[in-house]
Every structure is written in structure tokens, then in C-alpha cells.
Amino acid sequence: MNPNTIRGMAPLTRQRFHFAASAFSRIYGVTHVTGSMVDFCYNWALTEENAPPDCLNYVDGYFRNLWDTSQRHH
């Protein structure tokens, strides 16, 4: 995903995308976030699903579980 694609997102989608991507950055480190993870964040951002409203540890766990589940189904 290139920066122009991100800039072209609707504001709420862009905010949700960055929220999800920041979780992956915290979990794996910025340099280890893959293109597949970025695509996953974008697809999650398009949903109406909500991450837990708790602390970032719960948010990170939520995204890690979603990611792990999605990888088992591929």
C-alpha cells in the first residue's frame, strides 16, 4: 500500500487503518510489519468491528489474535 492510497482513504477509514497498523508496529516492530499485515489493517479498517476499548495491551492482543486466526485460514 502506498502513501497515496492511504491519503485517499476516507478519514474514518484512515484513522482505523492507522490504529490497527500501530498495534502491529507495537507487536512486531516497525521494520517487521509486512505488506500482508498492512493489507490486513486496511481490510479491518473497512469493517465496523471495534477493538476493545481497554488498554493498548488488550488492543494489541485483539489484533494479534485476529491476525493469527486469519493466517490459519490461508
User: Which residue, among 5, 60, 53, 3, has the nearest Cα to 29 in the 3D structure?
Assistant: 60
- 3 occurs within a structural domain: no
- 54 occurs within a structural domain: yes
Q: Is the pTM of this model over 0.85?
A: yes
pLDDT of residue 73: 79
Q: State how many domains the chain has.
A: 1
Range of the domain at 36: 12-72
**Cβ(67)–Cβ(50) under 8 Å?**
no
Residue 1 has pLDDT above 90, yes or no: no
Q: b/e for 25-35, b at 16 or more Cβ within 10 A?
A: bebeeeeebee
**Cβ(41)–Cβ(17) under 8 Å?**
yes
- 38 occurs within a structural domain: yes
- 47 occurs within a structural domain: yes
pLDDT of residue 39: 95
**Cβ(64)–Cβ(27) under 8 Å?**
yes
- 6 occurs within a structural domain: no
- pLDDT tens per residue across span 16-73: 999 999 999 999 999 999 999 999 999 999 999 999 888 999 999 999 999 999 999 7
- 27 occurs within a structural domain: yes
- 51 occurs within a structural domain: yes
- 4 occurs within a structural domain: no
